[in-house]
Structure 1
Amino acid sequence: MFDVAVIGAGPAGVLAALRAADLGARTALIARAGFGGMAENDGPVPVRVLAHAARLMRDLRQLNQYGINVSDPILDYSLLLSKVNEIVSDVCSHSSLREQLDALGVAIFERAGLVRFVDEHTLAAEDGLQLQANKIILCTGGVSRKLPIQGFELTSTHSDAWALASVPKSMLVVGAGATGAQVASIFNAFGTRVHLFEAGPRILATEDEDVSAAVAAAFRASGIAVRENFGTIESFEKVPSGVRMNFNKDNRREDIEATLAVVAVGWVANTESLNLSGAGIELDQRKFVKVNEYMQTSSPHVFAAGDITGQLMLVPQAIRGGFVAATNAVLGPSMPLGENRGPTGSFTEPEYAQVGLTEARAREGHEVIKAVVNFDSTTRTLIDGRKFGFCKLLADRQSSKILGCHVVGERAVDITQVAAVAIAAGMRVDALAQIPLAYPTYAAILVRAAIDASGKLGLETGWRTQTAPITVNSASATVSE
C-alpha cells in the first residue's frame, strides 16, 4: 500500500510525485508511456526544436542584409527529425527531476499503459500492474477534441503533424488557437502551403485583440491563407491529392483540398479509460475533472492537476498544480492554488505573448492607461532587423499598477516574463520605468512603455536630460487612454 499514487508522468505528475515523496510519503508514479509525458515527448520540447529550425531558416534569409552571402537554405526534414529525437532523448536523460525522484525512493512504473480505478483505492494498468494507495493524484493530461463530422477519421491531430516523416505540400489547419497557429507557422516556414481556418471572428481568440490582428496580418504577409468566420464543416472526404474539406457559410457550400488536414479545435480531459465513476469522481460541465481550490476532487482522497482539470493548460501552471495537489494530499487541504499570474505565449513567427489582463478585460473594471511602443522605434530591434511588432502596457489610473502586458514580435515571450515579475511584485509603472535594464536589449522596450504610461499619469520617473523629460517619437510610440 502506497501513501500516494500519481497517475501520469508529465510536468504535473512528476512534480506531484516529487513533492509527495519530499514530504515523506511512500509514493508511486505511473506513466502510460515514457517519463516526461507530452511536454517532453510530444509537446513543448519537440515543438520548440521544430520552431527553432524554422527560425534558423528565417535568420539565414536575412544574412545578405548584413553583407554575408549564402545560398538559400534547403531543409533536410529527416535530419531535422533525427535532431528532434536526439534532443528529446537528451532532455529526458538529463532531467534532474528523475534523479531526485530516484533519490527519494519514488517507485516509477513506466510504459504501464492505460490505468483505471478498480475501486476507490485500487489502480490497475494495462501491463498487469495493480497497486493500492491511500491518496491518488490524477495527472493524465488531455487529448485533442474530436468532432462529430462525417469523414473526421481522415483528419490529423497536431501530434500527428509533429510526427510526419516529410513536409507536406499543402495543409489545412482547422482551429486558430495557440496550437493551430503554431502548426500553421512552423510548416509554412518549411515550405508547406498552409490554409488556416477559424470559425470565430479572429484567430488567437484568447489573446488581446491587437495581438490577434497583428499576428493575423503577419501570417497573411508570410503566405498563410487565413480565413476567419469560415462557417461550419459539413464533411471531410478522401481525394487523390489528400483530403477535401466541405464547408458551408450562409448557405453557400465551398470546399478546399490539401495533402493533410490538421484539426486543432480544443483539448479535452484524458479520462476515458480511468473509470472515474468507480472512485466517485465527478466531471464539470466541460467534462474536465472537477476540483476545488485545493485541487481536491469530489472524492476527498483523490486530487488532480494539469490539463485534466481544464484550468490554464500550460507547463508552468501544471507544475504549480502538481505541487499544490501533492501538498494537500499529504498534509491535508491547506494550500490553495491561488491566482495565476504567469505569462503565456507561443514561438510562432512572429512570436506573441501576454501576461495579466487583456485591454478589453481591463476596461471592465478599471480606468485604463495604455502605452504602446512599436518595435520599429527601439535600438535592439533596429540592429537585428526585427522591426515588426509592438509592446503594449496597461496600467490602472488610480493605483498606477500594471494590469497587463501584450507583445508581438521578436523575443515577445522573454519581454512578457519581465512584465510578469513586475505584476507579481505589485509594481507601479513609475517603479518599472526607473529600472535601468541593459542596453540595447529587447526587454528595454518594456521600460520605454512604462515611461510613456508614467508620463500620461503625471508620475516622475527620473528619466530627464538637463531639465526636459525624455520623450518618445509619437510616430512610433503612442500613449492613449
Structure 2
Amino acid sequence: MPASTKFDAIIIGSGQAGNPLATALAAAGRKVALIEKAQFGGSCVNYGCVPTKTLLATAERLHLLRTAPEVAAPAVLGAAGLRADLAAAVARKDALLAQSRQGLEASLTGAGVALFRGHAAFTGPRTVRVAPNEAPHAPRDLTAPLVFINTGTRPAVPDVPGLADVPYLTTTQLLDLKELPEHLVILGGGYIGLEFSQMFRRFGSRVTIVEHSPQLLEREDDDVCEALKAGLAADGVEFVLGAEAHRVSRGPDGHLTLTAHTHQGERRVRGTHLLVATGRLPNTDDLGLGFAGIATDEKGFVQVNDFLQTNVRGVYALGDVHGGPQFTHISYDDYRVVRDALLHGKRRSARRRPLPYGIFTEPQVARIGLSEGQAREQQQPYRVAKMPVASIGRAQQTGECTGFWKVLVGPDDRILGAAIVGAAAAEVMAMLEIAMAGRLKYPVLQEMIFAHPTWSEALNTVFRHLKTAR
C-alpha cells in the first residue's frame, strides 16, 4: 500500500478551472495538489481555443492577400494560388503552446502548488492514487477533504461501420497535420467542424461538411444558420446536410469514401482525409469514480448540483467534465463559483448565468441570452430588431458586409438576447451582454455616444428596426 500524503485540496486536471483554483487556494494558505497526466493547460491551451485560433490567424492572412483587390489594394502576384505552409503554421502554433504550458507550470509552482505528473484514480471518496508517468517512481496516495475533478473531454467517435478500419482524424490530430489535405471531408457540422472547414479551405484544401441535421448549428435560429452557411459557401466549402453516415471505406489509392443516406438518396463523398467532429465525451471512464460513489449520467458526465458539488461530500466537478456548454469562459466561471463559495462566503448558482459564445469563422457568429426559437418555446413576449450588416458604415468602409444583427427586447424594454452574424460579432455581443448584466433598457444604447466610425456605433441604429414578433 503506497504511503498517503494529506492535502487540503486535490485538483485532478490542469484545465481552465483547475489552474486558477489551485493558485487561489494556495494563496489562501491551503496545501494544494494538482495532478496532470498530459499537458498543463487543459483543452483550451492544448487542442482547443489557443491552437485553433492561432491557425485561423494564418488562414485569415492568406484570405486577406487573396482578396486585396476587393478594397482596391494592389493584387499580390500569385496570391490567388497561395496555399498554406502547413508545417510552418503548425510550428508557430506549437511554439506558442510550449510557451503557454511553461508559463502555467511556472505560475503554479511559484504559487506553492504541489504538481504531480501522472494518472489519477479514486480509491475512496476523498482518496486519490497517482500513478506517475515516468518509471521507476512508485504510485502515491493523496487524501484531502476537498477534491476537484477537472479532467475535460475527448473527441467522441461515432459507431459508423468501417470507421475503425480507416485512418480518420480527430480534431486533436488535425491540429498537428503538417501536410495539406487535398480534400478534407468533415463529419459533423457543429461549431468546431465549421471553424476547421473554413480554416482548411483557406489553407488551400477542398472541404466538404457532412452533417446529419438538415441545417448547421441545429440549436440556432434558421436565419443565423443560413447566413453562416452562405458565408462558408462563398469561400468554397461544400455541404451535404440531412445525411446519416452509414459506412466508411478506403480505396486502393488510399482515398476515403463516406457513404450517407439523405432525403435525395445515397450520397458518397470521397476525400483524401476524414475529420470526425461529432462531439466530445468526458474523461471519466478511468478515474475510478465507482470507488468513490460519484454519480455520472449515461454518457459519463459527472452529475453536479447548482454549486458544482457532486453527490459525494467534498467532491466537485469543474469545466467540461460535468456536461453542458463546453466553453473555456464557462470553465473559468466554474472556478469563480467555487472560489467565492470556499474563500469568500458567497454562494452563486452555476445554472443561472449568461452563456455567451462565438464562432470565429468569417462571418463570425455570436450569441447571448435567448434566441427567437427559445423565446417562442418559453412563451416569452418580445420585439425583435434586425439590421443587415451591409447598412453599417464601418462595414461599407471595410467591405465586410456579410450578415446581420438581431436583438430581442422584452416588454420592459430590456434586452433578452442577441444573435450577431458578421465582422466583430463577438465584441459587439459582449457589449450587449454588459447592457444585459446592468439591466439597461435599450434606449440607453440607442442614445449613447459611441466613437465614430466603429462597429459599436451601430447600437445607435439597430433598435430603429424594432418590430413586434409574429
Structure 2 counterpart of 1:164: 177
**Secondary structure in 1 matching 2:400:** coil
Structure 2 counterpart of 1:92: 101
Structure 2 counterpart of 1:66: 72
Is 2:399 the partner of 1:385? Answer: yes
Summarize the alignment of residues 64-143 of structure 1 with structure 2, pairs less than 5 Å apart.
Answer: 64=69, 65-71=71-77, 72=79, 73-95=82-104, 100-109=107-116, 112-127=117-132, 128-130=138-140, 131-143=142-154
CA contact (8 A) 1:202 1:228 kept: yes
Query: Matched residues in 1 for 2:309 and 2:146: separation?
Result: 11
Q: What is the CA-CA distance between 1:74 and the residue it aligns to?
A: 4.2
Structure 1 residues 7-50: Cα deviation after superposition (integer angstroms, max 9, x where no partner) = 11010111221232233321111112222112111110010011
Structure 1 residues 281-311: Cα deviation after superposition (integer angstroms, max 9, x where no partner) = 0012443100001100011121001000102
Structure 1 counterpart of 2:3: none
CA contact (8 A) 2:212 2:245 kept: no
Match of 2:27 among 22, 26, 41: 22
Structure 1 counterpart of 2:370: 357
Query: Matched residues in 1 for 2:83 and 2:374: separation?
Result: 44
Query: Matched residues in 2 for 1:375 and 1:331: separation?
Result: 44
Query: Matched residues in 2 for 1:426 and 1:332: separation?
Result: 25
The letter of the residue matching 1:137 is: F
1:354–1:123 CA distance, 2 compared to 1 (3 A): same
Is 2:165 the partner of 1:151? Answer: no
CA contact (8 A) 1:116 1:274 kept: yes
Structure 1: 5+ residue stretches without partners: 457-478
Summarize the alignment of residues 46-445 of structure 1 with structure 2, pairs less than 5 Å apart.
Answer: 46-64=51-69, 65-71=71-77, 72=79, 73-95=82-104, 100-109=107-116, 112-127=117-132, 128-130=138-140, 131-153=142-164, 154=166, 155-230=168-243, 232-239=244-251, 240-249=253-262, 252-328=265-341, 334-363=347-376, 364-396=378-410, 398-445=411-458
Q: What is the CA-CA distance between 1:252 and the residue it aligns to?
A: 4.0
Q: Report the more deviating stretch, 373-382 or 440-449.
A: 440-449
**Secondary structure in 2 matching 1:11:** coil
CA contact (8 A) 1:139 1:306 kept: yes
CA contact (8 A) 2:21 2:335 kept: yes
The letter of the residue matching 1:388 is: T
The letter of the residue matching 2:247 is: S
Structure 2: 5+ residue stretches without partners: 1-5, 133-137
CA contact (8 A) 1:429 1:451 kept: no
**Secondary structure in 2 matching 1:102:** helix
Query: Matched residues in 2 for 1:106 and 1:146: separation?
Result: 35
Q: What is the CA-CA distance between 1:336 and the residue it aligns to?
A: 2.7
1:382–1:480 CA distance, 2 compared to 1 (3 A): farther
Q: Report the more deviating stretch, 28-37 or 127-136.
A: 127-136
The letter of the residue matching 1:76 is: D
The letter of the residue matching 1:18 is: T
Structure 1 residues 40-62: Cα deviation after superposition (integer angstroms, max 9, x where no partner) = 11110010011111111111123
CA contact (8 A) 2:86 2:177 kept: no
Query: Matched residues in 2 for 1:329 and 1:276: separation?
Result: 23
Query: Matched residues in 2 for 1:247 and 1:390: separation?
Result: 33
* RMSD after superposition: 2.1
The letter of the residue matching 2:383 is: I
The letter of the residue matching 1:337 is: A
**Secondary structure in 2 matching 1:114:** strand
CA contact (8 A) 1:241 1:258 kept: no
1:452–1:209 CA distance, 2 compared to 1 (3 A): same
The letter of the residue matching 1:67 is: A
**Secondary structure in 1 matching 2:84:** coil
1:209–1:286 CA distance, 2 compared to 1 (3 A): farther
Query: Matched residues in 1 for 2:355 and 2:448: separation?
Result: 21
**Secondary structure in 2 matching 1:196:** strand
The number of residues matched between the two structures is 451
Query: Matched residues in 1 for 2:393 and 2:352: separation?
Result: 35
**Secondary structure in 2 matching 1:365:** coil
When normalised by structure 1's length, the TM-score is: 0.89
Query: Matched residues in 2 for 1:332 and 1:238: separation?
Result: 59
Instruction: State percent identity of aligned pairs.
Output: 27
Query: Matched residues in 2 for 1:203 and 1:446: separation?
Result: 28
Query: Matched residues in 1 for 2:118 and 2:263: separation?
Result: 46
Structure 1 residues 349-396: Cα deviation after superposition (integer angstroms, max 9, x where no partner) = 221111111111123332221111211111111111111111111101
CA contact (8 A) 1:390 1:408 kept: yes
The letter of the residue matching 1:281 is: I
**Secondary structure in 1 matching 2:121:** strand
1:44–1:292 CA distance, 2 compared to 1 (3 A): same
**Secondary structure in 2 matching 1:417:** helix
**Secondary structure in 2 matching 1:86:** helix
CA contact (8 A) 2:35 2:119 kept: no
Query: Matched residues in 2 for 1:382 and 1:222: separation?
Result: 20
Structure 2 counterpart of 1:460: none
Query: Matched residues in 2 for 1:328 and 1:285: separation?
Result: 29
1:250–1:437 CA distance, 2 compared to 1 (3 A): closer
CA contact (8 A) 1:143 1:269 kept: yes
When normalised by structure 2's length, the TM-score is: 0.90
CA contact (8 A) 2:285 2:300 kept: no
Structure 1 residues 47-98: Cα deviation after superposition (integer angstroms, max 9, x where no partner) = 0011111111111123233333322044221111111112222333445xx5
